């Protein structure tokens, strides 16, 4: 089920000709501006090749960005995580980098409303435009008398070798790792539907579908999901998926649980066949404008968050046990990797080491562990200044040699049948400075501060962000990404509804509940110099009840030493030293049975108490 990353769709030399072809198509259709979002019909983070149109047109490979072209302008709107990367990839293409405050920003809507004239026409493929964004866009454009076409995909005119639907087979996620049966999940969903007063429920988000039906796929790089829609009724459900993707034995198992399989393109027909007045539940944040347009007007639509989004975020006790076991295997793989790395760094003058070597060796170490399926995202291995590029990705043609002195940032993760991992560590290379140690220690203080926090159950997750930032803010420093994201159970490495981020609205659905797994990953980034991020995954656990209600605490799941060679000991309080020593004692105790030789020696040395 391995899902290697998609090869580059374009080079900088390709872009001018593609822009001209796009503009010619726009003129043929009477369109004055064209929007190409980073999206697919399921609002996925990582896109199947068919929907990587923004990358194909611009050459920008970041996972977040919106491309807009007029007859005399082209630009990509993206946030601070990608500015350095976008500047490099857009250079010489004639496409401008338009800097926005966060990935959730809709500043491009204001730009369109201000730039275009009344009577002009904007086109965007409604099949990939999020419903919530479509509503904001139409409101802003209607106020200016600008027309919006969502029935036209201009890319189809110019992308002549556009990929088709992915065809990787679907497989079952089976016990012991699938700890709740498909029938039980469907029954729980139907209870939630009844509470909403809904007779049918339409689901388009791929991780919700994979979770609900205990199925996994390989249609998207790094996330074990597959392209599908689902329509759930009171007695049976229908899975809409490309023909040939569901093997006969899986289809039979689905049928036995009341799940029919239909062609991917039949979802609109299935909605049209529902009886007038049927109440349909859908999530306006998790369907596209095109999907919503397919819902007949004679149906009664109820808008609410998908119940499965809550259900899959709250890992069961059995799932948490599998994740703990997975973390031991992942931690053992990291011990083997870091033992190799330290030896390679000691010999780098005889055999040069590059950032790509880091990616290859860390993936190989995980692949030797039981239950490993694939990386959970593209490894970020950034040495020196490259570590300051938050979503940096080394390539054979554009990677740095690890030579001289500095810090090496490594952010990596794995998909295992028993869980999903995501970890960032920073190691010293050669001699490091007082400034390096100060920044590292500030980031560590922020990570520990949040890790040790106890808070009321139901606290809205964005409100926790400031706890991790406070030690960093105290030095007059900040970082341009969220502190934490939800993590799936052998599913997407980024999931909701919780998000520890200042750019997330603290809505009721972001409440922290027992069983949620979230990252804690503060950082400091000095462009052109270095980047530091320290990341662990944590589990929400009940921590007692007082007269003020139930409280939660974090159980740290990630098992890997934090490099104490980078610490300025004078900046740590006694309780912080105690937290780190306790953590390292746990890491040693849990990982020691899984490693030997050089990996064990490395583990014992790196967990020596401060």
- Residues 91, 193 within the same domain: no
Q: Are residues 307 and 324 in the same domain?
A: no
pLDDT given for residue 4 in this prediction: 38
- Mean pLDDT value of segment 152-166: 92
CA 523, 508, 539, 327 torsion: positive or negative? negative
Let me know if residue 333 belongs to a domain: yes
In a domain, 215, yes or no: yes
Tell me the DSSP string of 441-486: HHHHHHHHHHHT-EEETT-BGGGGHHHHHHHHHTTT---SS-SEEE
Q: Using 50, 70 and 90 to split pLDDT, how confident is the model at 409? A: very high
- What CATH number corresponds to the domain at position 20? 3.40.350.10
- Determine the pLDDT at residue 103: 54
Tokens of 348: 């780098």
Claim to verify: residue 253 and residue 358 sit in the same structural domain: no
| Residue 3 located in a structural domain | no
- Asked if residue 355 and residue 434 are part of one domain, the reply reads yes
Same domain, 591 and 495: yes
Please indicate, yes or no, if residue 140 is contained in any of the structural domains: yes
Residue 80, pLDDT > 80, answer no
Give the domain CATH number at 421: 3.90.230.10
What is the DSSP secondary-structure string of 290-323? HHHHTS-TTSEEEE---HHHHHHHS--HHHHHHH
Strand 423-429 and strand 419-420: the pairing is unpaired
Asked if the model's pLDDT at residue 267 lies above 60, the reply is yes
pLDDT score, position 118: 95
What is the arithmetic mean of pLDDT over 107-115? 91
Residues in contact with 372: Cβ distance below 8 Å, sequence separation at least 6, in sequence order: 329, 366, 414, 415, 416
Which one, of 496, 478, 363, lies nearest residue 45 by Cα?
496
Same domain, 141 and 207: no
User: Last residue of some domain: 253, 288, 311?
Assistant: 311
User: Which of 74-83, 127-136, 227-236, 582-591 has the weakest average pLDDT?
Assistant: 74-83
> How many domains are there within the chain?
3
Within a domain: residue 585? Answer: yes
Share of the chain above pLDDT 70, in %: 98
Helices (H), 143-247: 155-158, 182-196, 206-213
Q: Which of the two residues, 283 and 107, has the higher pLDDT score? A: 283
Between the alpha carbon of residue 420 and those of residues 331, 417, 437, 495, the distances in Å are 12, 8, 30, 11
What is the per-residue pLDDT across 576-604, written as a single tens digit (0 to 9) for each?
999 999 999 999 999 999 999 999 999 99
pLDDT digits (tens, 9 = 90+) for 354-396: 999 999 999 999 999 999 999 999 999 999 999 998 878 887 8
Q: What is residue 104's predicted lDDT score, i.e. its pLDDT? A: 60
Which of 311, 337, 364 is the last residue in one of the domains?
A: 311
d(CA 273, CA 289): 20
Question: In Å, how far are 208, 227, 228, 281 from 240, measured between CA atoms?
Answer: 14, 9, 5, 17
At 495-549, the pLDDT tens digits run 999 999 998 899 999 999 999 999 999 999 999 999 999 999 999 999 999 999 9
Position 42 in a domain: yes
- Find out whether 211 and 308 touch, Cβ atoms under 8 Å: yes
Owning domain of residue 21: 12-158
418 DSSP 8-state letter: T
Question: Final residue of a domain: which of 136, 158, 180?
Answer: 158
Residue 110 CB neighbour total at 10 angstroms: 11
Decide if 163 is inside a domain.
Answer: no
User: For residue range 564-577, what is the model confidence (pLDDT) as tens digits?
Assistant: 999 999 999 999 99
Beta strand 121-124 pairing with 33-37:
parallel
Same domain, 180 and 201: yes
Judgement on whether residues 405 and 389 belong to the same structural domain of the protein? yes
User: pLDDT at position 88, please?
Assistant: 84
Cα three-residue angle 179-490-513, rounded to 5 degrees: 70
599 and 455 share a domain?
Answer: yes
Is 188 in contact with 212 (CB distance < 8 Å)?
Answer: no
Q: Give the model confidence (pLDDT) of 431-481 as tens digits.
A: 999 999 999 999 999 999 999 999 999 999 999 999 999 999 999 999 989
pLDDT at 101: 75
The answer to whether residue 46 is domain-embedded is yes
457, 374: one domain: yes
Q: Is the pLDDT of residue 85 over 90?
A: no
Strands 536-546, 549-556: parallel, antiparallel or unpaired by DSSP? antiparallel
Give residue for tokens 């401008």.
Answer: 96
pLDDT (tens digit per residue) in 182-224: 999 999 999 999 999 999 999 999 999 999 999 999 998 899 9
Q: Looking at the structure, tell me whether residues 201 and 84 fall in a common domain.
A: no
Same domain, 423 and 457: yes
Q: What is the mean pLDDT of the chain?
A: 93
The larger pLDDT score, comparing residue 532 to residue 79, is at 532
């Amino acid at each position: 089920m391995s899902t290697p990353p998609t090869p580059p769709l374009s080079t900088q030399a390709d872009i001018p000709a593609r822009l001209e072809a796009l503009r010619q198509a726009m003129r043929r259709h009477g369109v004055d501006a064209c929007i190409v979002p980073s999206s697919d019909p399921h609002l996925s983070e990582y896109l199947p090749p068919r929907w990587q149109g923004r990358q194909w047109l611009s050459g920008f490979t970041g996972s977040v960005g919106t491309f807009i072209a007029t007859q005399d302008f082209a630009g990509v709107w993206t946030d601070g995580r990608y500015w350095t990367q976008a500047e490099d990839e857009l250079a010489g293409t004639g496409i401008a980098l338009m800097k926005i405050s966060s990935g959730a920003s809709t500043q491009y809507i204001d730009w369109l409303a201000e730039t275009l004239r009344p009577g002009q026409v904007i086109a965007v493929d409604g099949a990939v435009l999020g419903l919530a964004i479509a509503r904001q866009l139409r409101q802003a454009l209607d106020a200016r008398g600008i027309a919006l076409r969502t029935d036209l995909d201009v890319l189809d005119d110019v992308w002549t070798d556009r990929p088709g639907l992915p065809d990787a087979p679907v497989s079952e996620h089976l016990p012991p790792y699938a700890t709740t049966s498909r029938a039980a999940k469907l029954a729980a969903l139907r209870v939630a539907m009844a509470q909403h007063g809904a007779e049918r429920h339409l689901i388009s988000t791929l991780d919700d579908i994979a979770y609900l039906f205990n199925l996994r796929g390989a249609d998207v790089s790094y996330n074990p999901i597959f392209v599908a829609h689902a329509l759930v009724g009171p007695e049976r459900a229908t899975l809409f998926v490309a023909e040939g993707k569901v093997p006969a034995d899986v289809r039979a198992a689905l049928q036995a649980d009341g799940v029919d399989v239909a062609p991917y393109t039949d979802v609109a027909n299935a909605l049209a066949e529902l009886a007038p007045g049927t109440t349909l539940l859908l999530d306006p944040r998790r369907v596209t404008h095109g999907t919503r347009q397919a819902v007949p007007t004679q149906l009664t639509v109820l808008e609410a968050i998908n119940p499965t989004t809550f259900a899959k975020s709250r890992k069961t006790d059995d799932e948490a046990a599998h994740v703990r076991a997975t973390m031991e295997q992942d931690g053992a793989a990291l011990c083997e990797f870091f033992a190799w790395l330290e030896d390679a760094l000691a010999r780098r003058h005889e055999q040069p080491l590059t950032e790509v070597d880091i990616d290859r060796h860390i993936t190989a170490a995980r692949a030797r562990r039981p239950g490993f399926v694939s990386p959970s995202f593209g490894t970020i291995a950034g040495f020196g200044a490259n570590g300051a590029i938050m979503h940096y990705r080394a390539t054979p043609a554009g990677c740095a040699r690890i030579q001289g002195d500095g810090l090496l940032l490594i952010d990596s993760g794995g998909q295992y049948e028993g869980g999903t991992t995501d970890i960032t560590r920073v190691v010293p290379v050669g001699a490091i400075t007082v400034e390096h140690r100060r920044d590292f220690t500030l980031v560590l203080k922020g990570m520990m501060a949040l890790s040790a926090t106890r808070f009321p159950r139901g606290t809205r997750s964005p409100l926790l962000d400031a706890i991790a930032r406070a030690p960093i803010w105290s030095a007059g420093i900040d970082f341009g990404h969220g502190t934490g994201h939800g993590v799936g159970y052998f599913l997407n490495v980024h999931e909701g509804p919780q998000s520890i981020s200042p750019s997330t609205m603290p809505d009721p659905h972001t409440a922290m509940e027992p069983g949620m797994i979230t990252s804690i990953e503060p950082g400091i980034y000095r462009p052109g110099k270095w980047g530091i991020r320290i990341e662990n995954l944590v589990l929400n656990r009940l921590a007692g009840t007082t007269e003020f209600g139930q409280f939660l605490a974090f159980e740290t799941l990630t098992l890997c030493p934090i490099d104490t060679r980078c610490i300025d000991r004078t900046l740590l309080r006694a309780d912080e030293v105690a937290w780190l020593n306790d953590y390292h004692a746990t890491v040693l105790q849990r990982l020691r049975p899984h490693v030997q030789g050089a990996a064990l020696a490395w583990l014992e040395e790196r967990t020596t108490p401060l």
